[in-house]
Homo-oligomer: A and B are copies of this chain.
Amino acid sequence: MCEANAYIIRNGKEELVMEAVDKVEPENDGLRLVNIFGDQKFIPAHIHALSLVNHKVILKE
C-alpha cells in the first residue's frame, strides 16, 4: 500500500492529523482526508508539501 500520514504545521511543529491517508480532496475552504479504512476528516487547511518516500503529507492552515 502507498498511503501516507498527514501532519499539519502549527506553531512551527508538525502535528499528526491522520494516519494511512489515501485521498485528499478540496472541499469548501479546506480539505477532506480519507484514509485506507474509509475514515474521513475535514481539515481547514491546504496541502503544503509532500515527502512520499517518507510517507508524509504536510498540511498548513
Contact = CB atoms under 8 A, between A and B. Distances in A.
B49 A24 contact: yes
Contacts of A47: 46-47, 50
Interface in A1-60: 1-4, 21-26, 36, 46-53, 55, 57
Interface residues of A, number: 21
Nearest to A48: B26
A54 to B, nearest CB: 8
B49 A46 contact: no
A32 B4 CA distance: 20
A24 to B, nearest CB: 4
21 contacts: A1-B53, A2-B2, A2-B52, A2-B53, A3-B52, A3-B53, A22-B51, A22-B53, A23-B49, A23-B50, A23-B52, A23-B53, A24-B50, A25-B49, A26-B48, A26-B49, A36-B53, A47-B47, A47-B50, A50-B57, A52-B52
